[in-house]
Amino acid sequence: MKKLVSLFLILTMILSCTAALAAEDGKITIWTWDPNFNIAAMNVAKEMYNKDHPDVEIIIEEVLSEDVETRVITAASAGDISNLPDIMLIQDNSAQKFILSYPEVYADITGKYDFTDFAEGKLAYSIVDGKNYGVPFDAGTTVGTYRTDYLEAAGYTIDDMTDIDWDRFLEIGRDVKAKTGMPMLSAQAGAVDTVLIMMQSCGASMFNEDGSVNFTNSDVCKTVLEYYKTMVQEGILIEVNTWDEYCGTLSNGSVVGTINGCWILGTIMGVEDQSGKWALTNIPKLPGIETATNYSNNGGSSWVFTNGTDIDLALDFMQAYRNVDFYNEILPTTSAIATWAPAKEGSNYTAGNDFYSGDAIFAKIVDYTAKVPANQTGAFYYDAREALGTALTNYINGADLESELANAEDTVNFAMGF
C-alpha cells in the first residue's frame, strides 16, 4: 500500500511539473473564429507582439464559437482543462453563463490588466461577482442609421433623428410613412434584438442583480413591448421571417433605416450604389424613465483566459488591446470597432467616411460606446431571450401582456430549476 501511495505521489509530481512546463513554454495558443474579423485582428496583434518578442510562438486556431463552447463544456466535465488554449474568444451574451457554470476554466484577471478607458457597459459582460474575467474586443454599440434621401423626401434630416425619444420617433415615423409609404425600421419576427436594445438603453435587463428573471415586475420591459407593438401595428416597423430577409430590407431600400449593433454597417456599406445616401446617429430613448439614455449595445465579444496557463505572458500579449495603432490598423480591413476610448484618436477613426458623406462615424461610435449603460446579462440569457420572444409574438397577436410575461417568467424559472 505504501508503495502505491509513493508511486501516486511521484506521478502527481511528474504531472505537476509537466503542467508547469506547459504553462510556461513561451507559447500562446488562441482559439477564435471568422478569418476576416477576429482572426485577422489577432494576426495583427501577433505581428506587432513578435516584433519585440520574436521568441514567443503565437498559435491562432480557427474554432467556431459553438465549438469553443462545446470544448469548454467537455473539458470541464472531464475535469481536465489542459487541452484548452491560453486565450479564447467568448460571445458577450454567453460570458456570464460560462464563467458561472465553469469557474475552474476561466482565470480571474482582476488587478492583472489595466481596464482604464474601456467602456463600463462593455466590461460588465465579463464581470462576475465584481471580478474581471475578460479583455473587451469589438463593440456591439447600437446606432441609428437612416437613408437621408428618404428622410429628406418627408422633410427631415439626420439632426431630426438625433437625441430624440421614442415618442418623437413615432411622430416622425408616422409622417415619413404617410409621405413616402416607407416604414422606418425592420426586424426579424420572434427575435427581441430591438426590445433588448431599448431596455439596455435604460440600464435595464431581463434579470435582477441576484440573477432572477425579471419580466412581470419590470416597468421598462412592459413599456418597451408596448412601443414595439405600436410600431408593428402602425407599420412603422415591419417584421420579416429570417435574418437574410432583414438584411435584404436594408440592401434593397425597402425601409428608411435600422437600429442595431454597429456591426450592421458591414451589410449597409456592402451596397456600393447607396454610398452617400446614409447618415448615422444615436438611438431614441424611453420617455419618462429616469435612467433612460440614447445609447445601447447589441452583440460583441471579449477575450478570456484559461486557468493554469501562463497568464502573465498572455496578458502581456493582450496589451495590443490598449494600443491606438492596433485598433487603427485593423479598422479598415475588419471594421472591428474598439471599445477602448483612446482608439478614436487613430487616423482611420478620425477620417471622414465616404459612404457616410464624410462623417467620422467610427470616432462617433467610440464616443457612443462610452455612454452605454451596463446591465445584467445573466447566466440564462438565451433562455430568457427565447421566452420573451414568444411573449412578444403572442402579445402582438392580441394576447394579454401581463399573462404573457408571467408565462415567460415561469418558463425561464423552470429552466433555472426553480
Q: Model confidence over 231-274: pLDDT tens digits?
A: 999 999 999 999 999 999 999 999 999 999 999 998 999 899 99
Please give the single-letter amino acid code of residue 245.
E
pLDDT at 3 over 80: no
Name the 3-class secondary structure at 379: coil
Confidence of residue 25 (pLDDT cuts 50, 70, 90): low
Determine how β-strand 185-188 pairs with β-strand 237-240.
parallel
Lowest-pLDDT range of 92-96, 233-237, 307-311: 307-311
Sorting pLDDT into bands at 50, 70 and 90, what band is 4?
very low
pLDDT beyond 50 at 15: no
For 41-76, the pLDDT digits (tens) are: 999 999 999 999 999 999 999 999 999 999 999 999
214 vs 377, higher pLDDT? 214
Place 13 in a pLDDT band, splitting at 50, 70 and 90: very low
List strand residue ranges (DSSP E) for 241-392, in order: 257-261, 278-281, 301-305
- Grid coordinates representing 119 are 467602456
Residue in 58, 73, 61 with CA at minimum distance from that of residue 26: 58
pLDDT digits 0-9 by tens, 169-222: 999 999 999 999 999 999 999 999 999 999 999 999 999 988 899 999 999 999
Contact 264/146 with Cβ under 8 angstroms?
no
Inter-CA distances, 216 with 207, 219, 256, 399, 411, Å: 11, 8, 33, 15, 13
Q: Where are the alpha helices (DSSP H) in 117-205?
A: 120-123, 148-153, 166-180, 193-200
Residue 237 CB neighbours (<10 A): 21
Instruction: Identify each DSSP E strand in 178-297 by its residue range.
Output: 185-188, 237-240, 257-261, 278-281
d(C-alpha 418, C-alpha 412), whole Å:
9
Residue 17 pLDDT exceeds 50 = no
How many helices (H) and strands (E) would you count in the chain? 17, 12
Least confident segment among 136-145, 281-290, 370-379: 370-379
- Cell 504553462: give the residue: 23
Q: So what's the pLDDT on residue 26?
A: 81
What pLDDT is recorded for position 361? 96
pLDDT in tens, 391-411: 999 999 999 999 999 999 999
Instruction: List domains and CATH numbers for the chain.
Output: 27-139+298-366 (3.40.190.10), 142-296+380-415 (3.40.190.10)
| Buried residues in 110-123 as b, exposed as e (16+ CB within 10 A) | eeebebeebbebbb
